Amino acid sequence: MTMRYVAAAAVLASMAIHLILWIQVVRGMHMIGPLFLLNVAAGVVISVLLVRWRHWLPGMFAACFGMATLGAFTISATVGLYGTHEHWSGFYVWGAAIAEVVAVLAGCAIMLEDPDPEPREKGGRRRAGVPQSAASSSAS
């Protein structure tokens, strides 16, 4: 569960930086402004899913969020994106980049976790406190 909180914090950090930049800089930009707001909305939803839904999909969402956001910035910093040409300098740039790398790594770790660590009985009910090996041997 700790990795889910790490991923959620990383996604929220990236989201917060994008919200600050939207308010300060890109609000009036034709395509970039709405994309920053989409990033903010997605960051909130993904963070909630990470801590509330014990499934591998929120991990995938966090990893894709980090890759897409970092990828869009890299495109903007190299060839430009919708008329915007950014640079790899400043606290917000490096803070968001680090948060997005952490979101990708934590999201991948979540996808590799055991999706259902608590064993279930035949009817689908959880058997609390029973180790996985004991549950599999009693099921056979």
CA distances from 3 to 71, 89, 129 (A): 23, 29, 22
Domains: count for the chain: 1
Question: For the chain, what is the radius of gyration of the CA atoms?
Answer: 19
Provide the domain limits for residue 90. 2-138
For the chain (length 140 residues), average pLDDT per consecutive 10? 92 94 85 88 96 91 94 82 69 88 94 66 56 51
The pTM (predicted TM-score) of the whole model is 0.75
